[in-house]
Amino acid sequence: MMCCENSDYSWTKETSHEERHQATKTAGASHATLMALKELGRQPTSAITDDLYVTASNEAARIKPKILIAHLRKASPGIGISLENTQPLRRDSWSFAHNGTVWSPSFRRKNGQSDSIVFFEKLLDSIQTKSDLGKMHERIANSVMQLRKSILDNPDSNGKTYTSITFILSDGKSLYVLRDFNEEQDENYYTMYCLQSTDCVLFCQQQITPGDWKSLDNRSMAAVGPRKDLEIVRCQ
């Protein structure tokens, strides 16, 4: 699902190489690459057929930003394919990429917006009301638990709540990676692995390189600071 590297270069993407080729052949595929608040490319189209995706990837490799988020996914069922819904999403200094679907009516979408947009907005609003909690990762973890409860307490008419609220979030200085899937879902699909070395911390749903990968537990969040310090926070 996602891979993140934080140091001189931080990279996130959704799906493995094999999954990416399959996903981008289907309706709902979109892609975007975002460096802090500078967009390197954003298109509601199939990345496999869009030269801009390759151009953005090459530019990212050239400039080697400290944090880079690139996102590739199929649209959630019933969500329109649009530039607005193309992730990573951004608001002020924050950027956000989400994997999963939120069904709860408490996350009602407006004017064709994706559930990811609604979740992102609610998450940031919650974070901003918790300045008394001190450290940012504590504020984010507390917000995640609050929003999850709201989702679970308000299922849709079919009794569905969410598949996953797994995300990558950055304020341009630090990186926050959450693995959180509904336990009714396949745990082998909503995975998240972490690989730490002397010069980077890599997160990915697929173990895309050799190394000693560690799996993040469900409902846990990794926080990586500017000095590449890694801390795992339980969100339950």
Q: Is residue 73 within a helix (H) or strand (E), and if so which, with residue range? A: strand 69-73
The one-character DSSP state at 98 is E
Residue 31 has a pLDDT of 52
Alpha-carbon dihedral 101, 172, 136, 200, rounded to 10 degrees: 90
Distance between alpha carbon 132 and the CA centroid of its chain, in Å? 26
Task: Please give the structure tokens belonging to residue 99.
Answer: 């994997």
Angle at 10 between CA 229 and CA 228, to 5 degrees: 10
How far apart are alpha carbons 66 and 6 in whole angstroms?
6
Domain boundaries in the chain? 4-234
Task: Please give the structure tokens belonging to residue 218.
Answer: 């469900």
**236 residues of the chain, pLDDT tens digit each:** 333 332 222 233 333 334 333 333 333 345 555 444 577 777 787 778 888 888 888 888 888 778 877 777 776 677 778 888 888 898 888 999 999 999 999 887 777 788 999 999 999 999 988 877 778 999 999 999 999 999 999 999 999 999 999 999 999 889 999 999 998 898 988 998 999 888 778 888 888 789 999 999 999 999 998 888 899 999 98
How far apart are alpha carbons 68 and 213 in whole angstroms?
21
The one-character DSSP state at 164 is B
- Which CATH class, in words, describes the domain spanning 4-234? alpha beta
Task: Please give the structure tokens belonging to residue 67.
Answer: 């944090």
The SS3 assignment for 155 reads coil
